Structure 1
Amino acid sequence: MASLAAVCRVSARAASQQLRSQGARRGLHSSQASLAAQNFNMPALSPTMTEGNIATWKIKEGDSFSAGDVLLEIETDKAQMDVEAQDDGVLAKITIGDGSKAVQVGTRIAVTAEPGDDLSSLEIPAEDNAAPKKEAEAPKPPKEESKPVPKEERASTPPAKSDASKKTSSGKAMKQTYPLYPSVQHLLEVNGLPKDEADKIPATGPGGRLLKGDVLAYLGQIENSYPSELAGRFTKLSHLDLSNIKPMAKKEAPKKAAAAAPKVVEDLPVELAMPISLTAVMECQKRVKDSIGVFLPLSTFVARATELANEDLPKSKTAKPSADELFNAVLGLDKVSSKYSRGNFVPQVTALPSTTLSHPSTAAPKKADILDILSGKKPSPPKRSPVAGAAGVAGPLNVFSVSVPKGDEKRGQVFLERVKAVLEAEPGRLVV
Structure 2
Amino acid sequence: MTEGNIASWKVQEGDEFSAGDVLLEIETDKASMDVEAQDDGIMAKITQGDGTKGIKVGTRIGVLAEAGDDISSLEMPAEDSAAAPSPKEEASKPKPETPSESQALTSKPSPSSSADATAERSSKPSKKQTYPLLPSVEALIHQKGLSQDDLGKMTPSGPNNRLLKGDVLAYLGTISESYPTELSAKIARLSHLDLSHITLAKPPPKPEKKAEAVPGPVLEKPSQVAVPVSMRSVIEVQERVQRTLGVFVPLSTFIARASDVANGNLPRSKTYTPSADELFNQVLGLDNTSSTAGARGTFFPQITPPPTSAPTIQSVKAPVKRADIVDILSGTTKRTTPVLAAKTAPGMSSSVNVFSVEVPKGDEKRAQVFLDRVKTVLEGEPGSLVL
What TM bracket, shorter-length normalisation?
Answer: 0.3 to 0.5
- Higher-Rg structure is 1
Report the TM-score when normalising by structure 2: 0.34
The TM-score, its normalising length taken from structure 1, stands at 0.31
